[in-house]
Structure formats: structure tokens, C-alpha cells
């Protein structure tokens, strides 16, 4: 690599990186020519240059020539004591001049002055400028062709703004990607169109009993059912209706016993933020005779009622009969409606 600095290495201005073999150039601006040249040289040799076209060309001719003497650094214009905005204006001038004379460039940014106006040290200001440019059509979101069916049956053929679409429909971008890549069957009631064309919506001819004793018969759309009843976990409810688990958050199949003896209970994991809480499908009787169950988040329950979790755990698994006069109650011993905690 050849650096023609002409005793101006510590000055600022506009420079040119020229490939003598392909006769293609890269034009840029620098605060100090020598420092900018060192940055280009190191990133090209390590294969991490930000301009992929220049990087590919460098590796290609390096393999052919066996050396890197085909890359030259030339100073086009010295602009000592200039501001960044002034250098960007001149950089754009030289880019237009080269392109106007038929020269080929590696540059991705052909209008550096307009692009630099978007970014600032204040994130809010940057977002505002990007939004304004988007509205006037200078930046356009990529349109994705999809075949999605909403929970209400509406068909969506394209998505222009992924982030806004996910926010408007209360889903995560990661979850939507999983659906589009067919890694899951549905997300928040949204399904793929081809899945609805290939098979009809499954009907569950079952009877579900809610925690308060209300019965629901013949469920048509399980995803919608979960959404309508407090955002129930669809995977857990799928396991429940297919008789793979006994109960979930107090929901059970009609005529299905949740457990037969003390210590036999179901533990279901429920995600709260980044933590995992467990739902213990059990019934506990307090010293004053009040019955609680099923219990969601045992630690929180113990803190609320001033109980030791380790001791209460022994009661739940049948190793102890009581914990501060709290007892485990069988299903057939409960005569009144049980509050859910």
C-alpha cells in the first residue's frame, strides 16, 4: 500500500483510495490523513472494512498479485481547520465530479451531506429526523410479502413496517418471525394462511370448568379462547384439552379430579417478566377455615401470610401435616367456593 502524503499527513481534507488495477476509487474525508489511512489499512488487512465492495476487491487482487501495492492513498484537497460539515460538502463535490467524468467508485454513500444530517448524539432527535425523512419518502421501509390470518379472520398479505405491525397487534417481533418461519403454529391468535387452507380449525368437543365453576362446552378456536379469558397460556391449555395434564391455573376438564391424595399435585410454570413462577394446583386451609387454591407463586403466598416456604413445602408434599395451623385439603373435603390466589 502506498501513501502519498506530500508532508500533509497531519492535515485534514478530502482523500482518494485508488485501486491501480481496477481503476476504481474510494473518496472520503478525514480529520488527519495519516490516521484515516492507518484505519483503512488495518481494517482491509483484517478483513473488517465497513465498505464491503472495497474489502472484496482488496482480497481478490491481493490473492492475484501476492502484495498490496495496488492500493494508493492520494490527497485531493487540504482543508485545514475545517468543520465536519464543510468536509462533507467537499466530499460530495468530489464524488459528483468523479462520477460526472465517468470514474467508478466504491462509495456506498453518494450523498454524505444528507445522510449525516440524520444522525446526532441525541437519540430522540435522531428518531425525529428519521421519521420526518420517512414521511417525505427519502427513507422507505421494506415491504414483506406474508400470508397471515388475524384472530378475527382477516387476511394480511403484506407488512410494510415490522416493528409498528408487532406493536399494533401486541406481539413480539421474535414471535412473529417464528410464525413466518413455521417454527410455531400461532402467535397471539395469528396463523399462517396455508395452515388454514390445508386444514380446518380444530373443534374440541369437551367441557372445561373454570376456577369459579363456570362450564364451557365445544371450544372452536383455542387461541381465541385463551385470549378472551385473561391471556391463558395456549401451550398449557392445549395440553389440558388433550388430557396431558390434570389442570392449569384452576381450569380443568369436567369430571376430572385434580389430585387424589395429599402430595399429588400439578406444577405449571408461568412466565412473569424474566422470572418463572409456578402454579401449585392444591387447596390450603387457613387457621380461620378459609380455603385457598390453586396457589400461583408460592413464595409470594408465603410472604403475604407470614409463612415459611420450606415448612409449607413439606405440607404440600405430604411430609408434614400442618404449617402454623395451615393444612392441605383434599378436593372431596371442599364444600364451598374456593378463592384463587
Cβ neighbours of residue 111 closer than 8 Å, sequence gap 6 or more: 92
> Is residue 197's pLDDT more than 50?
no
Alpha-carbon span 184 to 210, nearest angstrom: 27
Task: Check whether 40 has a pLDDT greater than 70.
Answer: yes
Residue with cell 413464595: 299
Query: Long-range contacts of range 37-41, CB-CB < 8 Å, 24 or more positions apart?
Result: 37/3, 37/5, 37/9, 37/73, 40/73, 41/1
**CA angle in degrees (0–180, nearest 5) for 185-197-171:** 35
CA atoms of 127 and 273, how far apart (whole Å): 27
| pLDDT higher at 173 or 269 | 173
- Domain map (residue ranges) of the chain: 2-109, 144-198, 207-333
Are the beta carbons of 270 and 294 closer than 8 angstroms?
no
Q: What is the CATH number of domain 2-109?
A: 3.40.1440.10
The H-or-E segment that residue 28 falls in is strand 24-30
pTM: 0.36
Pick from 311, 321, 250, 244: nearest CA to 281: 250
State the pLDDT at residue 68. 81
pLDDT tens digits along 250-274 = 788 876 544 433 333 444 444 444 4
Q: Give the H or E element holding residue 186.
A: strand 186-187
Q: Per mean pLDDT, which of 40-44, 110-114, 158-162, 245-249 is the most reliable?
A: 40-44
- Quickly name the fold that domain 144-198 has: Arc Repressor Mutant, subunit A (1.10.10)
How many whole angstroms separate alpha carbon 203 and alpha carbon 199?
A: 12
Torsion of CA 173, 179, 185, 189, to 10 degrees: 50
Q: Give the model confidence (pLDDT) of 82-95 as tens digits.
A: 888 888 888 888 88
Cβ atoms of residues 13 and 4 within 8 Å:
no
Measure the CA–CA gap between 56 and 44, rounded to whole angstroms: 9
**Average pLDDT, stretch 187-200?**
67
Residue showing cell 428518531? 127
Query: What does the pLDDT average to over 29-50?
Result: 87
Amino acid at each position: 500500500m502506498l501513501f502519498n502524503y506530500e508532508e500533509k499527513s497531519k492535515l485534514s481534507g478530502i482523500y482518494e483510495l485508488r485501486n491501480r488495477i481496477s481503476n476504481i476509487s474510494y473518496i472520503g474525508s478525514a480529520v488527519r490523513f495519516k490516521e484515516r489511512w492507518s484505519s483503512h489499512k488495518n481494517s482491509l488487512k483484517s478483513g473488517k472494512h465497513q465498505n464491503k465492495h472495497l474489502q472484496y476487491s482488496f482480497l481478490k487482487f491481493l490473492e492475484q498479485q501476492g502484495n498490496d501495492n495496488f492500493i494508493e492513498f492520494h490527497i485531493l484537497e487540504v482543508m485545514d481547520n475545517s468543520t465536519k460539515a464543510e468536509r462533507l460538502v467537499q466530499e460530495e463535490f468530489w464524488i459528483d465530479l468523479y462520477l460526472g467524468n465517468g470514474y467508478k467508485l466504491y462509495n456506498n454513500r453518494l450523498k454524505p451531506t444528507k445522510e449525516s444530517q440524520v444522525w446526532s448524539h441525541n437519540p430522540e432527535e435522531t428518531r425525529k429526523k428519521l421519521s420526518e425523512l420517512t414521511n417525505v419518502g427519502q427513507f422507505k421501509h421494506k415491504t414483506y410479502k406474508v400470508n397471515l390470518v388475524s384472530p378475527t379472520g382477516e387476511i394480511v398479505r403484506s407488512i410494510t413496517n415490522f416493528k409498528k405491525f408487532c406493536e399494533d397487534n401486541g406481539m413480539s417481533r421474535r414471535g412473529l418471525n417464528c410464525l413466518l418461519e413455521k417454527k410455531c403454529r400461532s402467535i397471539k391468535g395469528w396463523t399462517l394462511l396455508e395452515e388454514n387452507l390445508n386444514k380446518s380449525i380444530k373443534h374440541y368437543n369437551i367441557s372445561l370448568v373454570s376456577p369459579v365453576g363456570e362450564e364451557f362446552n365445544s371450544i372452536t378456536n383455542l387461541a381465541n379462547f385463551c385470549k378472551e379469558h385473561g391471556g391463558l397460556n395456549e401451550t398449557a391449555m392445549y395440553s389440558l384439552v388433550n388430557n396431558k395434564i390434570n389442570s392449569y391455573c384452576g381450569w380443568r376438564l369436567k369430571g376430572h379430579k385434580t389430585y387424589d391424595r395429599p402430595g399429588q399435585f400439578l406444577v405449571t410454570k408461568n412466565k412473569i417478566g424474566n422470572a418463572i413462577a409456578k402454579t401449585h394446583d392444591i387447596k390450603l386451609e387457613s387457621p380461620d377455615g378459609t380455603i385457598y387454591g390453586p396457589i400461583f407463586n408460592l413464595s409470594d403466598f408465603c410472604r403475604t401470610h407470614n409463612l415459611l416456604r420450606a415448612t409449607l413445602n413439606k405440607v404440600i408434599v405430604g411430609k408434614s401435616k400442618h404449617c402454623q395451623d395451615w393444612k392441605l385439603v383434599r378436593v372431596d373435603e371442599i364444600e364451598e367456593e374456593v378463592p384463587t390466589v
